[in-house]
Amino acid sequence: MPRLAYSFPEEVLEHVFSFIECDKDRGSISLVCKSWYEIEAWCRRRVFVGNCYAVSPATVVKRFPKVRSVAIKGKPHFADFNLVPEGWGAYVFPWIKAMAAAYPWLQEIRLKRMVITDECLELIAKSFKNFSVLVLTSCEGFTTDGLAAITANCRNLRELELRESEVEDICGHWLSHFPDSYTSLVSLNISCLGNEVNLSALERLVSRCTNLQTLRLNRAVPLEKLANLLRGAPQLVELGTGTYSTEMRPEVFANLAEAFSGCKQLKSLSGFWDVLPSYLPALYPVCSSLTSLNLSYATIQSSDLIKLVSQCESLQRLWVLDYIEDAGLEVIAASCKDLRELRVFPSDPFGLEPNVALTEQGLVSVSEGCTKLQSVLYFCRQMSNAALDTIARNRPNMTRFRLCIIEPRAPDYLTREPLDAGFGAIVEHCKDLRRLSLSGLLSDRVFEYIGTYGKKLEMLSVAFAGDTDLGLHHVLSGCDNLRKLEIRDCPFGDKALLANAAKLETMRSLWMSSCLVSYGACKLLGLKLPRLNVEVIDERGPPDSRPDSSPVEKLYIYRTVSGPRLDMPGYVWRMEDDSALRVS
């Protein structure tokens, strides 16, 4: 029988493999036979590490010696909402150190929810001669001095994006460190920086980088300066404005409108901090070609929003505050027939009473009118099973559905029942649903539906829901493709977790906080499943000082091939496995 693996020279296989980009497929290729494993490893150029503690840097660089692009994620998702205490971990330094030695030709680093220090940035700047892409999303730990190291040294930098990261703003001159000869910038996102950057340096940079496609400014860039920047980069595809308000002056307005008309390629707009509505018409020339519009920081009223959005007939993605109201969403349903993604954020999430006329009806309208809608994030104050059922039937093509009813455990406002049936309809009709976030009053029943129908579900977020362990059991036993499960404030205890312990090895991670999982159960899981890290987070002190039956504050379980992590802070305890006990 011909050994097909040997019938192609390595170079041919390498060439064939180079067309396979999806990580999952790459993984499958590597399982075929030893030589394919080796060839695939040798020619893998991109690595995605979904959990920085699932594998060690040393293991990665050893298996994949020729990587050019790395993406790593750190903290659990709930860290975004302050549920993970300070100092938890996700330090990128060990990765940078290992890659500095192993990947001199590394070009791209993309990090999410990680801690990156100035030292790391300096190491990047001096270790990778061809470094071209740095994207930091929801990261922290660095200052503008670290950025200066990047801009000063990375001659081939193409993308520098700081998305919603916490940067200590020491000095705005880091941008000026780009040498005058530097022209390769394609994408610059400084939207999260607090202070001013050197504006004239920015203007010069923008006008000499003729390949610039993305420019996301920060709030400190005044509106008067925007027109000039746009004139320097009429080829811009994506723009994030700075502050969008100043004293109304006709010449400023005219200047701005003209500058926008000159940007024929503009497809995406964001920014819009502090909007003065009378400046919005300056955007009208570009509205019809916009595919993405982020107005989620624009505190402007429904009428102004409607005037703008109703002109954006090509819109595919819209992020907006609930000032849009049901009326505005109805207009969107009629005007934006290409809409794929809608996010509606709350303008007053901590107020008791609704401050805007936004209800479930707005979402229903959009689900009716926008046939391509597949991704939703919606904050509102009331919901009904009937509305959810309608939405589900309207949009069986939904793939991401995140609903946040602001009051925890709010029932169907019409019938006072739990919203089980409504969410049940969502999972039943939306057969390709990959991501789901629940809210409102929910019993175990909703989890029964999810376990039954949510076969493609990969990520589930649960808060203030369920009655008994049955709920958790339904999810763990039913959702075949579940990768990430995060739960807070639910009455789930030991039983479901222990009964489905093996499931945890098929998932990336499980987060449970303010639930009823006992310390004893955590110990048991840690003991019997050495390929998981079972980490108890408890700021009250060592869990040993409390009875085994005492529930832990927070629990983070993730699979790993690297064993325990070595950088746990004092309030994190890893449950030991057999091997650890034997050694000691």
Q: Which 3-state string (H, E, C) describes 104-137?
A: CCCCEEEEECCECCHHHHHHHHHHCCCCCEEEEE
Nearer to another protein, 362 or 418 (CB): 418
Closest Cα to residue 222, out of 279, 175, 183?
279
Contacts of 105 (CB under 8 A, 6+ apart): 66, 68, 128, 129, 130
Of 76, 411, 422, 526, which one interacts with another protein (CB under 8 A)?
Answer: 411
Q: Which of 251, 379, 376 is nearest to 323 (CA)?
A: 379
Q: What's the closest the beta carbon of residue 280 comes to another protein, in angstroms?
A: 13
Least separation in angstroms between CB 311 and another protein: 22
Question: Nearer Cβ to another protein, position 247 or 251?
Answer: 247
488 binds another protein (CB under 8 A): yes
Alpha helices in 359-438 (DSSP H): 360-369, 385-394, 420-429
Per-residue contact flags (x/-) with another protein for residues 266 to 285, judged by CB under 8 A: -------xx-x-x-------
The identity of residue 304, as a single letter, is: D
**Per CB under 8 A, does 569 bind another protein?**
no
Which of residues 138 and 144 has its CB atom nearest to another protein in the complex? 138
Report which DSSP code applies to 232. H
Looking only at the bridges linking them, the beta strands covering 572-574 and 532-537 are: antiparallel
Question: Is residue 172 within 8 Å of residue 199, measured between CB atoms?
Answer: no
Strand 292-295 and strand 317-321: pairing?
parallel
The verdict on 467 binding another protein (CB under 8 A) reads yes
Burial of 366 (0-12, 13-18, 19+ CB in 10 A): buried
Distance set, CA 515 to CA 27, 75, 439, 464, 497 (Å): 36, 20, 16, 10, 12
Q: Which of 184, 198, 514, 562 binds another protein (CB under 8 A)?
A: 514
Question: Could you say whether residue 352 binds another protein (CB under 8 A)?
Answer: yes
We find the least distance from the C-beta atom of residue 553 to another protein, in angstroms, to be: 8
**Residues of this chain, 112-151, that bind another protein according to CB under 8 A:** 138
By CB under 8 A, name the one of 45, 409, 431, 456 that touches another protein: 409
Asked if 5 is part of the footprint of another protein (rule: CB under 8 A), the reply reads no
CA distance 279 to 202: 23
* Residue 549 engages another protein in binding (rule: CB under 8 A): yes
> Within 240-259, which residues bind another protein (CB under 8 A)?
243, 245-248
Which of 463, 511, 464, 521 has the alpha carbon at shortest distance from 483? 511
Distance CA 147, CA 190 (A): 11
Q: Between residue 20 and residue 39, which ones bind another protein under the rule CB under 8 A?
A: none
How far is residue 366 CA from its own chain's centroid?
Answer: 24
CB of 221 to another protein, least distance (A): 9
Q: Taking CB under 8 A as the rule, which mask of x and - marks residues 152-191 in contact with another protein?
A: ------------x-x-------------------------
Q: Is 372 in the site for another protein (CB under 8 A)?
A: no
Question: CA-CA distance, 150 to 120, in Å (whole number)?
Answer: 10
Nearest-approach distance from CB 368 to another protein, in angstroms: 24
- Cα distance between the two ends of the chain: 51
- Gyration radius from the chain CA atoms: 26
Binding letters toward another protein, positions 312-351, x by CB under 8 A: ---------------------------------xxxxxxx
DSSP string, 537-559: E-TTS-GGGS-TTSBPSEEEEEE
Residue whose CB is less far from another protein, 286 or 516 = 516
Residues of this chain, 443-462, that bind another protein according to CB under 8 A: 443-445, 448, 452, 461
State the minimum distance, in angstroms, from the CB of residue 284 to another protein: 19
Of 228, 187, 237, 227, residue with least CA distance to 209: 187
Q: Which two tokens stand for residue 88?
A: 């938890």
**Which of positions 65-94 make contact with another protein (CB under 8 A)?**
78, 80-83
Closest CB to another protein among residues 441, 572: 441
Please say which residue, 83 or 201, places its beta carbon nearer to another protein: 83
**CA 427, CA 389: separation in Å to the nearest integer?**
10
Among the candidate windows 56-64, 204-212, 219-227, 364-372, which touches another protein by CB under 8 A? 219-227
Tell me which of 54, 357, 527, 568 binds another protein, using CB under 8 A.
527
Kindly tell me which residue out of 417, 564, 568, 580 binds another protein, with binding defined by CB under 8 A: 417
Q: Which of residues 98, 498, 568, 580 is near another protein by CB under 8 A?
A: 498
Shortest CB 424 distance to another protein, Å: 8
How long a stretch of residues is the chain? Answer: 584
